[in-house]
């Protein structure tokens, strides 16, 4: 009898020993509002794989794309704060309604290229981190979108050439830019853009190169002006309660994976932008080189848009803009 009892205890000890890894494993759901083929969704999946590798499988992140978890865009700060999902990506400017500081990186014609956009986000990052902390979350990484250029039926070389354009825009800033340059903005659903171009209801679109390729713009448009009205960015945030439940080693692995992913995405998206522009060119779209004179004119004519934002935004936003302009040598 005693021998049987000892054997039972040994068996129980072995079961407990080998069960510990299974019990300690953590699984998180991650929300992406973007479709499966979008570069931001692909990046989040790569990030999940990187985390799994760095933690030897102790932290597994399962990505649901296309808003499949029922969460969309503007409410995502609250969704992560309340731990409705422990981790989510979100368009930074898309949550500016909850935190004004997040609107600073998409002020029109502030950042003129990818290098400047990266610098602007680096300067803004401490302020973004502080804002995220107020919402009980931590930013793991920030990644860019390709810049929003102008796709047209006519060649655009000066601001005067933009007068009278009928332009599809996707946000308030784009609409304000079109109005400032003497055009008419159209807030059309993207599904209606191609037919609107084909029937000449509109004659131009502000959007990025991947979107232009997806929509076969070369069938209805002729020119691309890479004026970078805005260069938007995405952030991936984790709920702090979920983060704090992890052991220190896993937390550090998560942070390191975020840093690695951020560096990787700034390189990848710049390459993606070039690839999609080349596809457009191969199919008949002419890229029009943007002169310094045009950029200076666009910057000057949209000054009120940036000024009005800064007048209403927290003082931190002005600090970001002033530091950025000083760094790039512009007033």
Q: What is the pLDDT of residue 207?
A: 94
331: pLDDT confidence band, cut at 50, 70 and 90? confident
Distance, in Å, from the CA atom of 271 to the CA atom of 158, rounded to the nearest integer, reads 28
Window from 6-15, 60-69, 111-120, 319-328 with minimum mean pLDDT: 6-15
DSSP string, 24-64: H-EEEEEE--S-TTSHHHHHHHHHHHHHHHHTTTSEEEEEE
Q: What is the pLDDT of residues 26-72, one digit of tens each?
A: 999 999 999 898 899 999 999 999 999 999 999 999 999 999 999 98
Q: What is the pLDDT of residues 265-285, one digit of tens each?
A: 999 999 999 999 999 999 999
Q: What is the pLDDT of residues 184-219, one digit of tens each?
A: 999 998 889 999 999 999 999 999 999 999 899 999
CA 326, 108, 98, 117 dihedral sign is negative
* Among the listed residues 135, 129, 227, the one whose alpha carbon sits nearest the alpha carbon of residue 173: 227
Q: What is the pLDDT of residue 24?
A: 58
Q: What is the dihedral of CA 168, 232, 110, 156, to 10 degrees?
A: -30
Q: What is the pLDDT of residue 3?
A: 52
* Among the listed residues 74, 89, 78, the one whose alpha carbon sits nearest the alpha carbon of residue 144: 89
Structure tokens at 109: 């014609």
Beta-carbon contacts of 307 under 8 Å, excluding residues fewer than 6 positions away, are none
Residue 263 has pLDDT above 90, yes or no: yes
Q: What is the pLDDT of residue 152?
A: 98
Indicate the pTM of the whole model.
0.86
Residue 10 has pLDDT above 90, yes or no: no
Q: What is the pLDDT of residue 54?
A: 97
Q: What is the pLDDT of residue 16?
A: 44
Q: What is the pLDDT of residues 116-172, one digit of tens each?
A: 999 999 999 999 999 999 999 999 999 999 999 999 999 999 999 999 999 999 888
Question: What is the residue-averaged pLDDT of the chain?
Answer: 92
4: pLDDT confidence band, cut at 50, 70 and 90? low
Beta-carbon contacts of 100 under 8 Å, excluding residues fewer than 6 positions away, are 312, 313, 314, 317
């Amino acid at each position: 009898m005693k021998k049987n009892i000892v054997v039972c205890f040994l068996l129980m000890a072995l079961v407990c020993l080998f069960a510990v890894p299974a019990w300690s494993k953590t699984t998180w759901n991650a929300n992406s509002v973007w479709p499966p083929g979008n570069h931001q969704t692909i990046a989040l999946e790569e990030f999940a794989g990187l985390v799994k590798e760095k933690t030897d499988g102790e932290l597994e992140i399962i990505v649901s794309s296309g808003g499949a978890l029922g969460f969309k865009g503007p409410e995502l700060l609250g969704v992560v704060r309340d731990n409705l999902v422990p981790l989510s990506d979100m368009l930074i400017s898309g949550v500016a309604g909850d935190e004004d500081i997040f609107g600073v990186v998409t002020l029109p014609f502030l950042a003129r290229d990818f290098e400047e956009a990266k610098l602007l986000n680096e300067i803004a990052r401490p302020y973004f981190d502080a804002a995220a902390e107020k919402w009980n979350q931590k930013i793991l990484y920030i990644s860019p979108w390709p810049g929003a250029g102008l796709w047209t039926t006519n060649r655009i070389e000066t601001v005067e050439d933009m007068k009278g354009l009928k332009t599809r825009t996707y946000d308030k800033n784009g609409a304000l830019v079109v109005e400032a340059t003497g055009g008419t903005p159209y807030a059309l659903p993207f599904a209606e853009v191609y037919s609107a171009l084909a029937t000449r209801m509109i004659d131009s679109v502000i959007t990025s190169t991947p979107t232009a390729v997806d929509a076969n713009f070369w069938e209805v448009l002729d020119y691309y002006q890479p004026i970078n009205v805005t260069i938007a960015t995405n952030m991936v945030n984790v709920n702090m309660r979920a983060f704090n439940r992890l052991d220190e080693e896993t937390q550090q692995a998560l942070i390191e994976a975020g840093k690695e992913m951020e560096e990787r995405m700034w390189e990848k998206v710049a390459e993606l932008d070039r690839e999609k522009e080349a596809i457009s060119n191969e199919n008949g779209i002419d890229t029009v080189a943007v002169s310094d004179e045009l950029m200076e004119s666009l910057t000057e004519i949209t000054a009120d848009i940036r000024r009005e934002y800064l007048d209403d935004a927290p003082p931190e936003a002005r600090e970001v803009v002033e530091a950025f302009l000083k760094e790039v040598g512009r007033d």
